[in-house]
Amino acid sequence: MVEGNKTIKEIPSSHYKISEIYTVNPNEFSVENVHITHVSPTELKKISFLQNPKDSVAVCELREAKTLPHFSTQLILDGIQDPGNLGTIIRLADWFGIEQIICSEDTVDFYNPKVIQASMGSFLRVNIVYEDIHAYLQNSSSAIIGTDMDGKNLYQYSFPEKFSLVLGNEGNGIRPKTEELLTDKITIPRFGKSRATESLNVSMATGIILGQIFSEK
Amino acid sequence: MVEGNKTIKEIPSSHYKISEIYTVNPNEFSVENVHITHVSPTELKKISFLQNPKDSVAVCELREAKTLPHFSTQLILDGIQDPGNLGTIIRLADWFGIEQIICSEDTVDFYNPKVIQASMGSFLRVNIVYEDIHAYLQNSSSAIIGTDMDGKNLYQYSFPEKFSLVLGNEGNGIRPKTEELLTDKITIPRFGKSRATESLNVSMATGIILGQIFSEK
């Protein structure tokens, strides 16, 4: 389910297919072979997952995603649980032109409406697959870089041409079984002096690391 | 109001003063001159602003904040509205050791429980003041750098020793009156090819910019 005219209008130019649209303003759409239903704002509120629903809701066909051959940088998510974090990471991937995110099987479902919403249409442009990441990484021939509290300083680190960046669960980080497969670990240094400072949220850490990786390109 | 034992225990070593604590476990605290009330989980749920309240809630005295003389980097917020964004920006400031955030008078109140929550205790370590930022910036002798869609490339920009970084409202950006006072504008370049990609959220943009500023330190 995709909400909001802006994102819905981007779907036809993506790999996804709309099957139905429920909208308060049917004149907004001229999509072929799609059943469009005119609904009242009250009806839309019942269909929508949002507290304040937008103008329309589209039902799309699920897509069977395939792992793409790996070029340059890709993300591996090891048990991300929060839908807002996954949505934000998808949006970051889109911003930085990262084509693929490989999620562990226990990562939150990216078809969760909160993820779709937080990704702001970016899920249409990033290939997102769910896999046994342990098996995947075991067969990987390129570098596997993970975040860790005691890793190498991000700002002094020279990233290889091609690598997978592994990001761990919100509370527990990267699981030991995945950690064993890392070829390197990096840390975002803390400049504030207080030890009480909480470590950065995983989506913010992803943004800062990607910012740094792309500063070299 | 501050929620959760972890953050509450950090208050005595900050500039804030606790006046009362409501807790499900009074043995956790030994704070002098503070009235501690033992409450049941059901009572705590009524007091708390959280859907799933933690162990304790502390009521603190509001603090009259004064603007500190400006050293090195400080943040200026021009009408940030979302409590989660303000909390995240406070947390980032703490991480990067930025001592001061000056908020326009229409920026969301940082005493809002959602801001306090999102800041994860970081509000205790950053000086946050509300001011007429236009008057403040008019009297500023150091550089004033703002974010803009058509600014200089962040990655090719050399930051001065001392400056204010201005961040604008979620929907409207920096207001024209503030923009006139900027000495420079910067942009985070987008590497993804699609024009449909939404610009980054203001707190994420702040994280990526601060990450870049501190990569040079």
Inform me whether the pLDDT recorded for B31 exceeds 80: no
Distance of CA B165 to the CA centre of its chain: 13
**A73 pLDDT more than 80:** yes
Per-residue pLDDT tens for B131-179?
999 999 999 999 999 999 899 999 999 999 999 999 999 999 999 999 9
Mean pLDDT throughout A134-152? Answer: 95
Percent of chain B with pLDDT over 90: 83
CA distance B133 to A46: 43
Q: Across the interface, do B191 and A125 touch by the CB < 8 Å criterion?
A: no
8 A C-beta contact, residue A93 and residue A103:
no
Closest CA in chain A for residue B99: A192
- State the DSSP code for A56: E
Is the pLDDT reported for residue A54 higher than 80?
yes
A interface with B, Cβ–Cβ < 8 A, is 10, 88, 91-92, 94-98, 120-122, 124-125, 154-155, 188-194, 196-198, 200-201, 203-204, 207-208, 210-212, 214-215, 217
Question: Pick from B97, B121, B207: which is nearest to A208 by CB?
Answer: B207
With CA atoms as reference, the chain A residue closest to B157 would be: A215
Predicted pLDDT of residue A201: 94
Is there a contact between A211 and B214 if contact means CB atoms under 8 Å apart?
Answer: no
The predicted model gives A170-190 an average pLDDT of 96
Contacts of B154 in chain A (CB under 8 A): 215
pLDDT of residue B194: 86
User: Is B191 in Cβ contact with A217 (below 8 Å)?
Assistant: yes
Check whether A127 has a pLDDT greater than 80: yes
Q: Residue A216: what pLDDT?
A: 74
Q: What is the pLDDT of residues B102-122, one digit of tens each?
A: 999 999 999 999 999 999 999
- pLDDT of res. A33: 79
Give me the residue from B121, B200, B214 closest to A191, CB to CB: B214
> Rounded mean pLDDT of chain A?
94
Query: Pick the residue with more confidence: B37 or A54?
Result: B37
Please say if the pLDDT value at position A145 is more than 80: yes
Q: Which two tokens stand for residue B125?
A: 């370590």
**Nearest residue on chain A to B211, judged by CA atoms?**
A208
- Chain A partners within 8 Å of B207 (Cβ): 200, 204, 207-208, 211
Residues A200, B91: C-beta atoms closer than 8 Å: yes
Chain A nearest-CA distance from B160, in A, is: 18
**pLDDT number for residue A63:** 87
Residue A35 to residue A40: CA distance in whole angstroms:
16
| Cβ-nearest to A96 among B96, B155, B192 | B192
What local confidence, expressed as pLDDT, does residue B52 receive? Answer: 87
Contacts 24+ apart (CB under 8 A), B66-72: B66/B129, B67/B100, B67/B102, B67/B127, B67/B129, B67/B131, B67/B136, B68/B99, B68/B100, B68/B127, B70/B100, B70/B140, B70/B142, B70/B162, B70/B164, B71/B99, B71/B162, B72/B161, B72/B162
How far from chain centre, in Å, is Cα B130?
12
User: Using a CB-CB distance cutoff of 8 angstroms, which residues of chain B are in contact with residue A154?
Assistant: 215
> Measured between CA atoms, how close is A20 to chain B, in angstroms?
22
- B112: exposed, middle or buried (C-beta count within 10 Å: 0-12, 13-18, 19+)? middle
pLDDT at site A195:
85
What gap in Å lies between CA B87 and CA B99, rounded to an integer?
15
Share of chain A above pLDDT 90, in %: 83
Q: Write down the pLDDT at residue B123.
A: 95
Give the pLDDT score at A100: 97
Give the residue-averaged pLDDT of A43-66: 91
From start to end of chain A, where are the E strands?
Answer: 2-3, 18-23, 35-38, 56-60, 73-78, 100-104, 127-131, 143-153, 163-168, 184-187
Q: Of B31 and B82, which is predicted with more confidence?
A: B82
Contact A198 B96 (CB under 8 A): no
- The whole-angstrom distance between B85's CA and the closest CA on chain A is 12
Q: Looking at residues A151-172, what average pLDDT do you find?
A: 96
3-state SS class at B180: coil
- State whether B200 and A207 contact (CB < 8 Å): yes
The answer to whether the CB atoms of A197 and B88 lie below 8 A apart is: no
Going by pLDDT thresholds of 50, 70 and 90, the confidence category of residue B64 is confident
Q: Where along chain A do its domains lie?
A: 2-60, 73-215
ipTM of this predicted structure: 0.90
| Contact criterion met (CB < 8 Å) for A190 and B95 | yes
Instruction: Please write the tens of the pLDDT for every residue from A13-50.
Output: 899 999 999 999 998 888 777 899 999 999 999 999 98
Query: How near does any CA of chain A get to the CA of B126, in Å?
Result: 10
* Average pLDDT estimate for A125-139: 96
Residues B97 and B73: beta-carbon distance below 8 Å: no
| Predicted local distance difference test score (pLDDT) of residue A162 | 95
Query: Choosing among B126, B215, B216, which should be mutated to test the A contact, i.e. which has the most A CBs within 10 A?
Result: B215
What's the pLDDT score for residue A24? Answer: 95
Mean pLDDT on A152-169: 96
As a CATH number, domain B73-215 is 3.40.1280.10
Angstrom distance (rounded) from CA B146 to CA B163: 10
Residue A200 pLDDT more than 80? yes
Contact B96, B126 (CB under 8 A): no
Q: Is the pLDDT of residue A178 over 90?
A: yes
Q: How far apart are the first and last CA of chain B?
A: 36
